[in-house]
Amino acid sequence: MMTIKERIKLQFLQGLVVGILVTAVLIHLVVWFVLGKTVDVFSSNFYPMLFIALYFLMKVYKTKKED
């Protein structure tokens, strides 16, 4: 059986991975709708955009949690 700490750590890592994947998909869809072209995942300008979106989502989640 897993301890509570291990379970919390596993849930955190799972949430982090799901959050990154969902954010990447959302960014891809928004860019596709707005610019009409797909995003090259291996290009150098994709990852800064991904981290900015993750930062924004974390800020939104933090403000919702405080309210």
Q: In the chain, how many domains are there?
A: 1
CA 36/CA 21 separation, integer angstroms: 21
Q: How many CB atoms lie within 10 A of CB 10?
A: 11
Which domain does 56 fall in, by range?
A: 4-66
Q: What does pTM read for this prediction?
A: 0.46
DSSP symbol at 36: S
Report the candidate in 15, 11, 19, 18 with the shortest Cα–Cα distance to residue 2.
Answer: 11
54 close to 27: Cβ distance less than 8 angstroms: no
Q: Copy the structure tokens of residue 30.
A: 């928004």
27 close to 50: Cβ distance less than 8 angstroms: yes
**What is the reported pLDDT for 33?**
74
Average pLDDT per consecutive 10 residues, the chain (67 residues; last block may be shorter): 81 85 80 69 65 75 62
